[in-house]
Structures are given as structure tokens and as C-alpha cells.
Chain A
Amino acid sequence: MKINLSKVASSAILATMLGGIVAPANAANWLMLQGTEPEGSAPRAKVWGFIQPEYTKTDGTKIKAGPWKGEDMILNQMRPDLKSSEGFNMLRARLGVRGTGMPLDSNVNYFLLAEFGNNGITRGDGGSAKVTDASVTLNHLKDFARFRVGTFKTPGSEEGLQAIHVFDYINFTGATNGLLLERFFKYDGSGTFVSPNAGPNTASDSGQVNKPTGPVGAFRDTGIQVFNSFNLSGWDTSYAYMVGNGNGITRGDNDGEMETYAYLSTEKVFGGKGPRRQGFKLFAWNQEGKRNLTLEKGNAVASDDEEKQFDRKRSGYGFTFKKGNYRAAFEAIKADGMIFNGTDGGAVAGTKSKLPAGAAGKFTTNGDVGGDGQLNASFNMEPIGKADGMYLHVGYAITPKLEVDFRYDEYNRMTDVAAKERKFETNTLGVQYFFNKKSRLIINYEQREAEAPNLPADHNANKILDSVDDRLSAQILVIF
């Protein structure tokens, strides 16, 4: 499945303009909610934010096989520190200001948001706070197009684009986490490649653990977006086309290659307004760009390292539904290139491997930091490869204060290479208790399964994946 929405979006934009359908939709959507302010009634500066303390627990099962047998399984550890399988974390604490600099002029508005929590945004390269959003929207041609410039959420997957403080669950789905929440790396990590049954064969060329070079992408980029929303025969229809650096947050461009994002959605609004309005929405999106990556070529020879440029494509489509007490959502995601491929042997990056019997000295290469024949587990990127995933969510509000949710999600990594293919399935049962409209308790139980579908059940890869535990999470969310 290849969805090239760039052309579709361009055609739709043109058709919309030429068609003279210029009445702006009154109802809001993510593009409008995050990129614009209500006309004539926006404050000069509205201070807002939210905090999300959480508790997470897994059984802490150790890796069952391979060079890192007995070590912590990365998927069983608490994010972002990965040092414990149980504990509390101040996941998100965000503070923002938005409004119109000059309230008399609704044609210009801004959005500023910073993260103070403990997560992949703030832990990426030190520092305890990061600006995640800083953008200005120009609405002078609002009957046709609005322009947003700066750093902000890219028009794309519903799970990434939606306001996180109305997210019904605590953790992202496997596909969103693996394919869309981008980690940026300098190396591919193949210097510590683990052959499926034989253990590591060499050390990282860099002599260091291959880890992200900074904050996660956070579904954001820096660039310019043209977008708008129209009432098309009773459907709130939106488009967006963005050009950005393709480097997430807190980075400038590094390669002169621009990332492109195209997005279309149309929603039959049943009622309400804001982020929890009721409606049936269809959406589709496409993202294309290039990434530089240094290939270690699976050996310890630094001199043959080679930096190359690779395509990175993502696309998806789906729907959301909310009416009365019922909620549902579905999204299918496809990925081509720059596939995030986890860590060596399922270990936490930086963990030293066991020294296989009779292999002493085998690993004492220039990459063996410790000099003791052991290897440090690294993150891996597959520059050429495919992956896909999907999720289906249903929810029911038993009372205005109590909602139950269920989500099935699937993430298939490296689907084009049989030996490397990994399949992750998660069933999430969730409960949300609303203390009031802006405060709630969320409890999730995730039943998690993972396998290498094309390898024997007793293969080390499957033994390692069998180490993945179920996960219990609880979170308090307060918006102010």
C-alpha cells in the first residue's frame, strides 16, 4: 500500500479554492485547534498546560536467551530511564502560552509550549526542559489558506497529531511508538550486530553505544504549513501541506533535504466543540523525507564507515468516531525506510553482554569500550526496510465520570526480510475516571505479545521476545 497524498492534497486544495467553497468551518479540529485562535475572542496570552505523573509496573522478566541473557529486557523497563521495571515518573509537565499578540487583530496568533517532564523529549541530550512548540499562524487569507510557521505538530497520524492531554490511553501503540515517534541516530548500530543464534560478532565502530543523538521527534518538525478548514456540505473538511527540516524538535536542518507532509480529513460533526467534540472523521496522510545515516557495515573497522542518505516514508489512513457514550478509532500505518529496529538482544542500550564460552578475546576490538571482551548493546536502525501497523480502539462512557476503553494494536517490523521480521501485538484494557472535566485518572493494563514469525519457536529471537511482560500503568492527568 502506497499512499501518495501529496498530489491528492494539492488537487484537493486547488479544487477547493477553484470551487469557491470558501466558508470557513466553525467547528474545530486538530489543525484548527492547535494552529488558530477563536476570532475576536482570543486573549493576548492564555497560560495553560498539563501534568501527567504516572506509575508503571511490569514483572521485570529478564532476557531469556542470547548474549544478554539474564539482563534487563528493555521493553520491561520504565521509560525513559530504563533502570527499573516499576516506579513513579513525572512523564509530562508542560506549560504553554497562546493567543493573539494584538487582540484587535485576529489575523496573527501564536503558540508556545515547553516540556518539563521526564521523557524522550527532555532526556535526549541533557537539560530538564525543551521547547516543543513555538509557532506563528497568519490568517490574512483565511477564506482560502492559513500559514503556520515555526515548530509544531506535523499534520499526520491521528495518534500523534491529537492533543496528548485528551489521549485515552497512557502509552502509544506499537506502530506509533516504533514508526512515528522518531529517534535520530548517527550510526545504524550494525557494529554490534547480533546474529540470531551466535551472539555478537563485533563491536561498535564508534567505540560507543549507538544511542539517539537528541530528543525524540515528538511528532513535530520545524517548517511552514499551509492549511485550512471548510464546511463542505455539512462535513468539516481540512487540508494541510507542510514542508519542514525533518529533524524533529530543537534541531535545524542538517542535509538540505526537506520533509513534506500532506494531510486530508473530513468530519461529520454531531455536536459539541473543542478536542472532545462528537463526530465521525475520516483522515489520510503522507510523509516523505530523507535521512543521513552512517553505516558501520556490521564490522569493527571504522575506516570503512560510510555516511549515506536514505528515503524515509510514512503514510496512513483511518477514522475516529464519537457519539453519545460510544467512541471508536482505527488507523493503519505503513513505513518504508529508516526502520527503528530496537536494541541488540533486547537489552537496554549500554548493557554489557555476557562473554560466550570460548570466545574470549573475540570481541576485544576497538569498539570494546570496556576492554574486557564484552559488548555494549546498541540501538539499531535499518535504513532500508518496510514495516506496518494498525490499531483499533473502542470505548464506552458508562457514566459521565467513568469510561472503559479497549485497544488492539499491531506492529510488524522489517516485514520485507523474513529473518528480521518481528511482530508485536498488544491488547490494552483501560479505565478513565474523570474527577472533573480537566482532571482524570487513567489505568491501563497491556497484554503484550511479541514474536519473530518466520523463525522457529525455540530460536533465540523468539526466546528473547518471549521475555516481554504485560504492563500495568496508572496516570493522573490534570489540565489547567
Chain B
Amino acid sequence: MKRSIVALIATCLSLGMMLTSFNAQAAKKSFADKKVVLQISDPNPFKQTLVLNVANNLIKHYGPDQVDVEIVAFGPGLRLLFAENSNKGRVNSLVSNGVRFSACKNTIKNMAKKLGSDPELNQHAVKVDAGVVRIIDLVKQGYTLVKP
């Protein structure tokens, strides 16, 4: 009996860890039919609107459960993920529909040199080592790269 309980706890713990890992690595475990990675690296503010529009259109067309969307921001495009960005309302809305946002650490480091400190990022932004590497990894996993 004791062994059964221990086994049950262990199983639960393992499942929990697996679920945590699943969330963290959602891209790798996605079961969505469509998988899209959107790149934002342009300084033109209009591109911010455009990339958010594209993400929104994907969600609307396929439904939040049928499409996996991740927006990877690096270079000048990282401004989209600044905490006080004027599009933060739209970013938060997309997050609630399952869209993920990745922020390039290399860009953060470079911007910190110019600003004197790290830029304050949107709370939903997940830092990745390098934006371009993140895109390559996602493409390898079957994601379609779109750069609006």
C-alpha cells in the first residue's frame, strides 16, 4: 500500500513536471495543426501594428486551439515588447488567446548599453538567448516563418 501511495505521488509529481515542462516548451509540444512564427525586427512602427494584425488574423481564421503563434522580437523590433509600448493592450489580448512573445537577450543587452539599464519589458515577454536562433529552432520544429 505504502509503495502504491509513493508511486502515485511520484506519478503525480512526474506529470506535474511534465506539464510544467510542456508549458515552458510549448513550441516543442504543440498539438496545433498550424504553427507560425512571426518575426518583428523592423524599426518602422507600422510593422508593429502589422505583425499584431497578422497574429490576430491567424487566431481569428483558425481559432486559438488550431494555430500556434509565436512572435519573436529582436533588433529594433524589440520595442514592441517594451512595457509601455502603445500596443501593449493588443499584446496582452493576443497573449490571452495563446500567442507567445519572445524577446532577444542579445538585443536587450545592446539596448541596455545605450539606455544605461535594461529596457523594461512587457510581463508576457519571454527572454530567449537569440531571436534569430529561436526562429531557426522553431522552423526546425515545423513552424512557418512569416515576416510581415
Task: A367 to B97: give the CA distance in the assembly, Å.
Answer: 80
Q: Which of A99-107, A110-118, A283-291, A406-414 lies at the interface?
A: A99-107
Task: A40 to B119: give the CA distance in the assembly, Å.
Answer: 11
Q: Are B79 and A38 in contact (CB under 8 A)?
A: no
Q: Chain B nearest CB: distance from A25 CB in Å?
A: 12
Chain B residues within 8 Å of A298, by CB: none
Does B76 count as interface, using CB distance less than 8 angstroms?
yes
Of the candidates A26, A41, A104, A105, the one whose C-beta lies within 8 Å of that of B48 is A41
Interface residues of B in 66-108 (CB under 8 A from A): 76, 79-80, 82, 84-89
Q: Are B45 and A42 in contact (CB under 8 A)?
A: yes
Task: A43 to B43: give the CA distance in the assembly, Å.
Answer: 7
Q: Chain A nearest CB: distance from B80 CB in Å?
A: 7
Task: A43 to B89: give the CA distance in the assembly, Å.
Answer: 20
Q: Are B43 and A44 in contact (CB under 8 A)?
A: yes
Task: A104 to B76: give the CA distance in the assembly, Å.
Answer: 8
Over the window 89-110 of chain A, the binary record of Cβ atoms lying under 8 Å from chain B Cβ atoms (1 yes, 0 no) is: 0000000000000111110000
Does A39 count as interface, using CB distance less than 8 angstroms?
yes
Does B111 count as interface, using CB distance less than 8 angstroms?
yes
Give the interface size bracket for A toward B. 10 to 19
Q: Are B111 and A40 in contact (CB under 8 A)?
A: no
Chain A residues within 8 Å of B82, by CB: 39-40, 106
- Which residue of the partner chain A has the closest CB to B114? A104
- Which residue of the partner chain B has the closest CB to A37? B86
- Candidate in A26, A39, A106 with the most chain B CB atoms within 10 angstroms: A39
Q: Are B86 and A38 in contact (CB under 8 A)?
A: yes
Q: Chain B nearest CB: distance from A438 CB in Å?
A: 15
Does B25 count as interface, using CB distance less than 8 angstroms?
no
Task: A235 to B84: give the CA distance in the assembly, Å.
Answer: 21
Q: Are A103 and B87 in contact (CB under 8 A)?
A: no
Chain A residues within 8 Å of B43, by CB: 43-44, 103
- Tell me whether A103 and B79 are in contact in the complex, defined as CB-CB below 8 angstroms, given that A39-B85, A41-B85, A41-B87 are known contacts: yes
Interface residues of B in 89-148 (CB under 8 A from A): 89, 111, 114-115, 119
- Which residue of the partner chain A has the closest CB to B116? A105
Of the candidates B44, B49, B87, the one whose C-beta lies within 8 Å of that of A43 is B44
Task: A44 to B119: give the CA distance in the assembly, Å.
Answer: 18
Task: A106 to B114: give the CA distance in the assembly, Å.
Answer: 13
Give chain A's interface residues, CB within 8 Å of chain B: 26, 38-44, 102-106
Give chain B's interface residues, CB within 8 Å of chain A: 43-45, 48-49, 76, 79-80, 82, 84-89, 111, 114-115, 119
